[in-house]
Amino acid sequence: MFNEIEGSLQLLFTTTRIDILFKNQQGTGTGFFFQFPLSQDQYIPIVVTNKHVVEKAEKGFFYLHTMDKNGSPNLETEPFIAEFNNFHRMWIYHPDEKIDLCIMPIASLLNYAEEKGIKIYYKAFSPDLIPDTDRLNKLTPIEEVIMIGYPIGLRDEKHNLPVIRKGSTASHPAVDYNDNPEFLIDMACFPGSSGSPVLVYNQGSYPTQKGITIGTRIYLLGILYSGLQFNTEGKIIVKNIPTKQEPVTEVSIPVNLGCVIKSQKLLDFEKSLIN
């Protein structure tokens, strides 16, 4: 379908839908691929998602693209579904229990698939896409952002492709919102979106504090984990984005604001992985 996977097309292959089973219930979340370099030609590939997506999961499923003989993704064939028992035990949780992040190294999964004659196609973010303090400070208070994932479990089932949504920052990404390592985005955040990567991706030109700059810019800003809601008592509450839709007795009104963990917190896993 695509002759070459370059530029923004690569974003379509950075995520995987995660289905989970727990206590005879089913849920859906989003994971994305990331890699920590060990040397010039070695790296550790991982999947990143929210802790609340997987911490009670008895069984989990990844929906992955396969690679054809030309090294391109197979979009006309069924995805490779990797199934795991004791799913919650396979993840490394963030060393700070207040940070709703976890990771899973996937080298064994890739090797398992290859032993069956299957090569997995994916694109992974890398640490160089995480903006440092200087680059964050140069952002404007209102930046256009995109989020890639599976809201209410939606995906292009024919081609196993995610949904890409667009919004804007609602608090400055350089500032810790309420003194937590997170910021807000102005975007509707539905069940299934937990774990979605949030990015600045500008093609051709982008605004800066000094005006318009010509060029392309991409930053991995963070990971969606919760949304703000307004309850019947008039209080603003923060709720984890659930993995499934279900009826509730408590009435709350979404205000289309999502809470995003800053991507710098991913770097906290590096020591655990190398050890």
Element housing 207 (H / E) = strand 205-208
Same domain, 118 and 132: no
Domain that includes residue 164, residue range: 128-266
SS3 content of the chain, % helix, strand, coil (to 5): 20, 45, 40
pLDDT at 133: 95
Residues 50 and 104 grouped into a single domain: yes
191 pLDDT band (50/70/90 cuts)?
confident
Q: Which of these ranges, 1-5, 44-48, 256-260, has the smallest mean pLDDT?
A: 1-5
Domain identity same for 135 and 215: yes
Statement: residue 149 has pLDDT above 50 = yes
User: 70 and 169: one domain?
Assistant: no
**Does the pLDDT value for residue 245 go beyond 80?**
no
d(CA 129, CA 202): 13
Residues contacting residue 263 through CB under 8 Å, at least 6 positions apart: 129, 130, 131, 219, 220, 221, 222, 223
Q: What is the mean pLDDT of residues 92-96?
A: 95
Looking at the structure of the chain, the number of domains it has is 2
User: Which residue do the tokens 């009670």 mark?
Assistant: 56
Question: Given a cut of 90, is residue 241 above it in pLDDT?
Answer: no
pLDDT digits (tens, 9 = 90+) for 154-169: 999 999 999 999 999 9
35 pLDDT above the threshold of 70: yes
Return the closest-CA partner of residue 77 out of 90, 66, 63, 69: 66
Task: Indicate whether 207 pLDDT > 80.
Answer: no
Residue 250 has what pLDDT? 45
Task: Look at residue 98 and tell me whether its pLDDT is greater than 60.
Answer: yes
Are 113 and 15 in a shared domain? yes
Same domain, 120 and 159: no
Q: Can you give the CATH number for the domain in which 213 is found?
A: 2.40.10
Residues above pLDDT 70, as percent of the chain:
89
Determine the pLDDT at residue 239: 55
